[in-house]
A and B are shown apart, each in its own frame.
Chain A
Amino acid sequence: MLSIKNLHASVAGKPILKGIDLEVAAGEVHAIMGPNGSGKSTLANVLAGRDFVEVTEGTVTYQGANLLDLEPEERAREGVFLAFQYPVEIPGVSNIYLLKAAVNAIRKHRGAEELDAMGFLKLVREKLKLVEMRDEFLHRSVNEGFSGGEKKRNEILQMAMLEPTLAILDETDSGLDIDALKIVASGVNALRSPERSMIVVTHYQRLLDYIVPDRVHVLAGGKVVRSGDKDLALELEAHGYSWIEKEPAQAAAG
């Protein structure tokens, strides 16, 4: 599904990612953890095609093709979905309008019929239940005046509508209280399937209590310094990041 090899990337000339290797197979959920500034969000942004991140070395192969060659909208249409850490407000554009435009752009790309108004409405109502939101929510401007929890639930709603092949959740848990976190997590879990891979980027272990990963990777100083199963996250929780941050230093010394 996704294969990242020796990925180096910088922002404004400053190297952030310094050789990332990551293999994600279909249906797997990978968690990427790490302290602030370790490059987690940069990695998410590289995958989605944010242009302020410059890839200086390495490859990203997605479904056999070079992902880095694609424009952001092409990636989206190929099934790459990024749930933003800070979902953007777009005044005057209603939520439902954006959803409809996006769903149809992607369907068109896949050679499927565009949904008519009724079909679309039926689908969106179904997905709304998933994130426990009401109809009126659809007619508000995209993310404008939404609470933190509403914004994140909106991201999951979009994900449910767009049915991605690879979903990247960038700090989806940040700023959520426990109830909102549960709603978001159950929305995500409902979308788990053998064809869909997910990368869950998070600072804290608590999200992983609800979205249980197949693999956990710890990022520090722009590199994956440790990989393991879900127990790694618990170990991290117990010891803190300082425990892991020492390791590359030791490696460099030795």
Chain B
Amino acid sequence: MAKTATELDTLVRREYKEGFYTDIESDTFPPGLDEDVVRALSAKKGEPGFMTEWRLEAFRRWQQLTEPSWAHVHYPKIDFQAISYYSAPKRPEDGPQSLDEVDPKLLETYEKLGIPIEEQKMLAGVAVDAVFDSVSVATTFKKTLSDAGVIFCPISEAVHEHPELVKQYLGSVVPPTDNYYASLNSAVFSDGSFVYVPKGVRCPMELSTYFRINAMNTGQFERTLIIADEGSYVSYLEGCTAPMRDENQLHAAVVELVAMKDAQIKYSTVQNWYPGDEEGRGGIYNFVTKRGACRGENAKISWTQVETGSAITWKYPSVILEGDNSIGEFYSVALTNNMQQADTGTKMVHIGKNTSSTIVSKGISAGRGQQSYRGLVKALKSAENARNYSQCDSLLMGDKCGAHTFPYIEIKNPTATVEHEATTSRIGEDQLFYCRQRGLSEEDAVSMIVNGFCKEVFKELPMEFAVEAQKLLGISLEGAVG
């Protein structure tokens, strides 16, 4: 399936001889975005015609859209023509050659998180031996999955291997026209994961460890598509507690989930990208569109996220509850420290009868961090007996941070029951003193109280992730009180 480099180059040369000026010998496109770049990108990946057209359509729509400004975040205008939209995977000799060359602060964090040394190398981008253990581990995982009939592969591979599934589902939950960043992603997405769990199959493992190792270099425009067919179950873990080295400032990912009748998808995220320094320099802009559709009766989609990284987060994992009795859940812990800004929340759209949704959002704001919860609960006329419960709590640490809550509730069915509760309070001086009077250091006391505050969310995370997330929270808050 993989074409040789020369073949690709020929393809590119042939199709774009007029408009396309890039040095085709190079592995990285020069900055800029137009239709030719989209075509070239698609060609580089050897995509079938339907994908190229799909991307082009998305690009055309993107050009008509304007960048959203409603979120409660501030950042300098992004020059989308200054970004390079294709870069080949890094060669090992470009990265640091050993851990000695890696920023000691990064290593310190890895230590605190208890990450094994080989994995530290992977995360820091250190060149590793080709026969690195994990690769064979990954192969074993792959065998287990394929025995169960689960398809789990890079989406770039799925385009070739399972075009019928991709055609049917890609963009069916987040259409290419959905919003500015989703359109951009659709036009230029780099890579990401594809999961298909066949009817009645319970995915035999958490799709996590494998991902942690293989998800490197998916680039800044990640695209994920997960389909759980009737009666199936899958738990998917994205991200990593360890801060990853990354040169791309803008990340605009799209994740689509489709749960058919009686299927269940559990999607957990731990996001700890570089937040920038204390003055807010650098740091990732994380503009993500995540949405799931409960297409059949009794389907269930559950999002759990722990967001501690990125300079700016703009993210609303949502569930469209189409099937009767379907369930949507959103559990979130978001932490902003120093100059971080986060505008995050969820949308629960109740369409089917007896649909229910639960939202639990815990925001922690420290330093000069600004954090907003933005959520929409909507019950359409058809949503007989829809139920929603939302709980949004904010914890403030320091008098320069902010916490904001913007829930939208739109109800068109009189049998719907919606309950929204929100509180904002400071980390209790009384609680801190109480813990210290019992002999705990101030930092341990803060960490204990904050973890207690987030408990309802952590318990939704798979065990090992929950433990890491707790540590991560402690580390992210270092220096927040004092």
Do A and B interact directly, with beta carbons closer than 8 Å? yes
> A interface vs B, CB < 8 Å?
48-51, 71-73, 75-77, 81-82, 84, 87-93, 97-98, 101-102, 105-106, 109, 141, 158, 162
State the CA gap A92–B454 with chains docked (Å).
7
Contact B438 A88 (CB under 8 A): no
Given contacts A92-B452, A93-B452, A101-B444, contact A106 B439 (CB under 8 A): yes
Question: Is A90's CB under 8 angstroms from B439's CB?
Answer: no
Question: Is B431's beta carbon under 8 Å from chain A?
Answer: yes
Chain B residue contacts of A89, Cβ below 8 A: 431
Given A88-B430, A101-B444, A93 contacting B449 (CB threshold 8 A): yes
User: B428 at the A/B interface (Cβ < 8 Å)?
Assistant: yes
Minimal beta-carbon separation of A2 from chain B (angstroms): 16
Complex Cα distance A101/B437, Å?
Answer: 12
Contact sample, A vs B, 25 pairs, CB 8 Å cutoff: A48-B437, A50-B433, A51-B433, A71-B442, A72-B436, A73-B440, A73-B442, A75-B437, A76-B438, A76-B439, A84-B434, A87-B434, A88-B428, A88-B433, A90-B428, A90-B431, A92-B451, A92-B453, A93-B449, A98-B438, A102-B438, A102-B439, A102-B440, A105-B438, A105-B444
Inter-chain contact total with CB atoms closer than 8 Å: 78
Alpha-carbon distance between A89 and B452 when the two chains are bound, in angstroms: 11
Contacts known (A50-B433, A90-B431, A90-B449); A162 close to B455, Cβ less than 8 A = no
Flag if B452 contacts A82 (CB, 8 Å). Answer: no
Interface string of B255-297 (1 = CB under 8 A from A): 0000000000000000000000000000000000000000000
With both beta carbons as reference points, the residue of chain A lying nearest to B444 in the complex is identified as A101
Most B C-beta atoms less than 10 A away, residue of A49, A93, A98: A93
Q: Which of B428, B440, B454, B456 contacts A105 (CB 8 A)?
A: B440
Q: Which residues of A contact B428 (CB under 8 A)?
A: 88, 90
Given A73-B440, A73-B442, the answer on whether A93 and B434 have CB atoms closer than 8 Å is no
Query: Do residues B440 and A82 form an inter-chain contact, with CB atoms below 8 A?
Result: no
> Footprint of A on B, CB under 8 Å?
428, 430-431, 433-442, 444, 448-449, 451-456
**Set of chain A residues within 8 Å of B437, measured between Cβ atoms:** 48-49, 72-73, 75-76, 81-82, 84
B450, chain A: closest CB distance, angstroms: 9
B442 contact set on A, CB distance < 8 A: 71, 73
Secondary structure call for the B interface: helix
Distance in angstroms between the alpha carbons of A73 and B444 in the assembled complex:
11
Q: Are A101 and B431 in contact (CB under 8 A)?
A: no
Q: Which A residues are CB-close (under 8 A) to B438?
A: 76, 98, 101-102, 105, 158, 162
Q: How far is the CA of A91 from the CA of B449 in the complex (A)?
A: 8
Tell me if B444 and A88 are in contact (CB < 8 A).
Answer: no
Residues of B within 8 A of A162 (CB): 438-439
Residues of A within 8 A of B455 (CB): 91-93
Report the minimum CB–CB distance from A98 to chain B (whole Å).
7
Taking a contact as CB atoms under 8 Å apart, the answer to whether A90 and B436 are in contact is no
In the bound complex, residues from chain B placing their C-beta under 8 Å from that of A109 are 439
Alpha-carbon gap, A18 to B444, bound state (A): 35
Residues of A within 8 A of B456 (CB): 92
Task: Considering the complex, give the chain B residue whose CB is closest to the CB of A76.
Answer: B439
Assembled-state Cα–Cα distance A98/B448 (Å): 8
Bound complex: CA A72 to CA B434 (Å): 9
Task: Assess whether B435 is in contact with A77, with CB atoms less than 8 Å apart.
Answer: no
Cβ B434 vs Cβ A105 within 8 A: no
Q: Which residues of B contact A105 (CB under 8 A)?
A: 438-441, 444
The 4 nearest A-B residue pairs measured at CB:
A92-B452, A93-B452, A92-B455, A102-B438
Nearest B-chain residue to A97, judged by Cβ: B448
CB contact between B452 and one of A81, A91, A102, A106 (< 8 Å): that residue: A91
Which partner residue on chain A sits nearest B454 by CB separation?
Answer: A92
Q: A48-B437, A73-B437, A92-B452 are in contact. List 11 more A-B contacts (CB 8 A).
A: A51-B433, A90-B448, A90-B449, A90-B452, A92-B455, A93-B451, A97-B448, A101-B440, A101-B448, A105-B440, A158-B438
Most A CB contacts (10 A, CB to CB) among B437, B448, B453, B456 go to: B437
**CB nearest neighbor in B for A83:** B437
Closest to B441 in A: A73
Residues of B within 8 A of A91 (CB): 452-453, 455
Taken together as a complex, chains A and B put the C-alpha atoms of A71 and B428 apart, in Å, by: 18
Give B450's nearest chain A residue, CB to CB: A92
Q: Contacts A93-B449, A93-B452, A141-B452 given: A73-B434 contact, CB under 8 Å?
A: no
Residue picked from B428, B444, B452, most chain A C-beta under 10 Å: B452
Q: Which residues of A contact B430 (CB under 8 A)?
A: 88
